[in-house]
């Protein structure tokens, strides 16, 4: 079974490329491949510091994953083209993680539109517009409403990103930022690691109307494993993950649901999930609940892979 995880923060949690292969955190190459072919979206992320400091840390993480691929090409390969993606889909390779790069927060751009082009050339394919701070592009759900949504620069960023083939990710964005992007986006956008706000009333989760909007545009919602985003109590079981899958599937269809585990960006995971090696348990639980094998394969990997294939091919319809 192919696994596609749309969000992982391991690059901000380690200090050298070797640790990507094996470590004691939530995610490493060895454990990711234990359940089958694995596609990882690595997030460039910095939690604190000035915007300039966060940008530098994110740049350092990008260099580290490039260095890891140079050192261990048999274990890691960046996906840049539709050919790279199809190779992963067809070969069923359990020796090499395929990956893409996401920036979690537009701080990495500074205030330069040209940075998008440079970062695209270095492998950036997903841009999460904000983390928990407002930035030059937009307001965060945890921010101070600096721009009342997207800034004028932010509108330019969305337009340029779409023209390059960089997917806009609205996890962490304020509701007003979401609606502003919704108004101007010409291509699919995603929420890489967010759940249903109806089921768990956390501001980081999505309203029904936002979920419907993502699906109408052909985007995907990646289910986040952080227990406070799964239940109001902050404690969660695998069945709570499935509740969100079921709810979103009932609302818009199962083909708009995927995974954005948020490993190594969350302090703890649901009971019975120690790390990436245990994510197969979610698939097994879905099969026990009489989900078809085709549906489960879609959730675990093929839904997100299909979207990426359309974006990489330039066909977003």
Q: Give the position of tokens 């919602």.
A: 221
Radius of gyration of the chain (CA): 18
Please enumerate in sequence order all residues whose Cβ is within 8 A of that of 1, keeping only pairs 6 or more positions apart, or say none: 35, 36, 280, 283, 296, 297, 300, 301
pLDDT score at 317: 45
Which is nearest to 279 in space by CA: 254, 258, 248, 250?
Answer: 258
Cα separation, 144 vs 154, in Å, equals 16
Cα separation, 20 vs 145, in Å, equals 37
CATH number of the structural domain spanning residue 25: 3.20.20.140
CA 26 to chain centre: 16
Contact 43, 12 (CB under 8 A): yes
User: Residue 149: which region, alpha, beta or left (left: phi > 0; alpha: psi -120 to 50)?
Assistant: left
Contact 243, 231 (CB under 8 A): no
CA 75 to chain centre: 21
HSE value, Cβ hemisphere, 13 Å, CA-based, for 233: 5
pLDDT score at 198: 99
Please enumerate in sequence order all residues whose Cβ is within 8 A of that of 296, keeping only pairs 6 or more positions apart, or say none: 1, 283, 286, 287
Which is nearest to 136 in space by CA: 168, 102, 171, 106?
Answer: 106
pLDDT score at 197: 99
Range of the domain at 242: 3-313
Split into its structural domains, the chain has a count of 1
121 exposure class (CB count in 10 Å sphere: 0-12, 13-18, 19+): exposed
| pTM assigned to the model | 0.97
Q: What is the mean pLDDT of each run of 10 residues along the chain (317 residues)?
A: 98 97 98 97 93 94 98 97 93 89 96 96 98 97 98 98 98 99 98 99 99 99 99 98 99 99 98 98 99 98 97 70
The helix/strand/coil state of 189 is strand
47 exposure class (CB count in 10 Å sphere: 0-12, 13-18, 19+): middle
């Amino acid at each position: 079974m192919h696994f596609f995880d749309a969000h992982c923060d391991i690059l901000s949690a380690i200090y050298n490329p070797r640790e990507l292969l094996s470590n004691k955190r939530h995610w490493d190459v060895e454990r990711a491949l234990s359940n089958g072919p694995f596609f990882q979206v690595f997030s460039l992320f910095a939690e604190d510091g000035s915007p300039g400091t966060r940008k530098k840390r994110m740049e350092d993480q990008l260099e580290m994953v490039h260095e890891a691929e140079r050192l261990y090409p048999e274990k890691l390969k960046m996906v840049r083209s539709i050919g790279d993606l199809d190779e992963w889909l067809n070969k069923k390779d359990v020796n090499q993680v395929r990956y893409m790069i996401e920036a979690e927060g537009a701080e990495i751009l500074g205030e330069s539109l040209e940075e998008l082009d440079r970062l695209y050339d270095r492998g950036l394919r997903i841009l999460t517009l904000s983390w928990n701070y407002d930035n030059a592009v937009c307001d965060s759900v945890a921010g101070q409403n600096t721009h009342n949504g997207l800034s004028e620069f932010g509108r330019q960023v969305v337009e340029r990103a779409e023209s390059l083939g960089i997917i806009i990710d609205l996890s962490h964005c304020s509701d007003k930022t979401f609606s502003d992007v919704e108004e101007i986006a010409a291509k699919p956008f995603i929420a890489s690691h967010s759940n249903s706000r109806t089921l768990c009333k956390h501001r980081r989760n999505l309203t029904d109307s936002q979920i419907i909007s993502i699906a109408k545009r052909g985007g995907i919602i990646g289910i986040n494993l952080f227990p406070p985003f799964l239940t109001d109590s902050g404690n969660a079981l695998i069945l709570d993950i499935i509740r969100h899958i079921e709810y979103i599937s009932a609302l818009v269809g199962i083909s708009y649901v995927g995974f954005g585990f948020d490993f190594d960006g969350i302090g703890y995971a649901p009971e019975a999930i120690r790390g990436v090696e245990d994510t197969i348990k979610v698939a097994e639980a879905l099969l026990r609940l009489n989900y078809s094998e085709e549906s489960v394969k879609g959730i675990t990997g093929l839904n997100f892979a299909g979207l990426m294939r359309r974006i990489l091919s330039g066909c977003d319809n």
